[in-house]
Amino acid sequence: MPSLSFFRRMSLPSVGKPSSKSSANEQNAEERVSIPETQTVLLLHAPRQPYQLTTSYPVPQVKGIREVLVRTRAIGLNPIDWKAPDFNFGIPELPYISGRELAGEIVQTSDRSSRLKLGDRVLVISTDYRDLRKAAYQEYVVALDYNTVRIPPALSLEKASTLGVAFVAAALALGVCMGVDFSGELGGPDLHRLVREVASEGLASDIRKECLDGIREHERAVRGDWLAVWGGSSTSAHLTIQLAKLVGLKTVAIVDKAKHGVRLTNHQAIHTDLLVDSHDPQRAVDIIRSNLQGKLRFGIDTRGAESATSLLQALSPGTSARQSRPLVGAPRNASPPSPPATPDDSMLLSAHLIGLTGLPKHPAPEGTVYHTIPIKLFHEMPAIGEALSSWLERLLAEGRICAPEVLDVEQGLGSVNKGLDRMRRGEISGGKLVVKVA
């Protein structure tokens, strides 16, 4: 950390004009904050190398009116942070700064109309990996205000740093890929509707089909539908199961029961309707099919192509469309959609398989649709990002969801490599490893 001699006084721009000289002075006093010229960061200089602790690196600059500057206090480590350098993917430039989620406090704003204020304790969810200003492995991070979540006083910064990316992935998987309507739960978003309000050319070409054609209206998840999550011990699964239960879905978790069975059984927030051991994948498939008897249309895999292939075998496409039940999350008194005059094959319900880290290598069989999560919706579409961030604020404030378990806390940016090594060795499972920066 640089000495105080490096600190500068910064007067930040304002969107609206003050009504008087007095109010202008108050405004300027509010927006001034001491920010260093330089900071300490972790840089990746080449694939398959450790991150290098680097001092005297410039503090990133706020550029747009929807950007804020956050002082990093705690970083949640994710598997992508070690897999990307090890397997040389997701690294748009070198040297590179990594890290996708952090918690800290607002030290600079550029828009007085923003819901965020100086000193707010916040969670930053950085899904935009191409902008190094937004990466977590540095002392100061630029964030979009619509990708930033205020956290309640009772939630520690360490716990807050564990849940951002997993929440976004879970919400988009359920809301976009499965068509869940969250509007009945603390005013959550109906993402299926929101993405269709955006002009198609406003959606990136690689996610347009998923957003607009991934699931048909009559196939959207309804209250009481079953959802199977393979790899149910992961952080993404932790948030997926909570959100699914919140809106009335029934859940199946396929996990290593020897390692995670007791925890999932005893944890009220992530307790599932059916818990299946993943040790023998074919037996797991047989148990699901035997218990659900053709009722499973939705599956989310958090592990990879092999387990996704097993989960595919458990799905049951081709059932008839139901017209008398409300969409998941819709208000209880909402009228169901009117059925067509004459049912036909177009009203049959497909099965939907969502892969967080991979999908089966062969094409989807008839009656089944493969999905990938359109994660860039969160940072490229302000309406989507803000809807999810503000909803997460309400969920946390009301105690409707809980953060994953913090398994351990490492101290200082320099301990990130140690933490990632522990993840490589498989020592971190069923929770998160956090790095406390200050």
Distance CA 148, CA 170 (A): 17
Report the distance separating Cα 238 and Cα 285, nearest Å: 21
Rg, C-alpha atoms of the chain:
23
Task: Give the span between the Cα atoms of 118 and 70, in whole angstroms.
Answer: 9
Q: What distance in Å separates the CA atoms of residue 325 and residue 397, rounded to the nearest whole number?
A: 30
The torsion of the CA quartet 192, 196, 202, 203, rounded to 10 degrees, works out to 40
Give per-residue pLDDT as tens, 160-178: 999 999 999 999 999 999 9
Q: Which of 81, 139, 17, 62 is nearest to 422 (CA)?
A: 81
| Tokens, residue 50 | 């450790």
pLDDT of residue 273: 95
Q: What is the pLDDT of residue 322?
A: 53
Query: In angstroms, rounded to a whole number, what is the distance separating the alpha carbons of residues 51 and 204?
Result: 31
Q: What pTM, to 2 d.p., does this model score?
A: 0.88
* d(C-alpha 366, C-alpha 263), whole Å: 37
Distance separating alpha carbons of residues 182 and 168, to the nearest angstrom: 13
- pLDDT (tens digit, 0 to 9) for every residue of the chain, 438 residues total? 443 333 333 333 333 333 343 343 334 334 557 899 999 999 999 999 999 999 999 999 999 889 999 999 999 999 999 999 999 999 999 999 999 999 999 999 987 778 899 999 999 999 999 999 999 999 999 999 999 999 999 999 999 999 999 999 999 999 999 999 999 999 999 999 999 998 778 899 999 999 999 999 999 999 999 999 999 788 999 999 999 999 999 999 999 998 888 888 888 888 999 999 999 999 999 999 999 999 999 999 999 999 999 999 999 987 665 544 556 665 545 544 444 444 455 678 999 999 999 999 999 999 999 999 999 999 999 999 999 999 999 999 999 999 999 999 999 999 999 999 999 999 998 899 999 997
* pLDDT at position 329: 62
Whole-number pLDDT of residue 7: 35
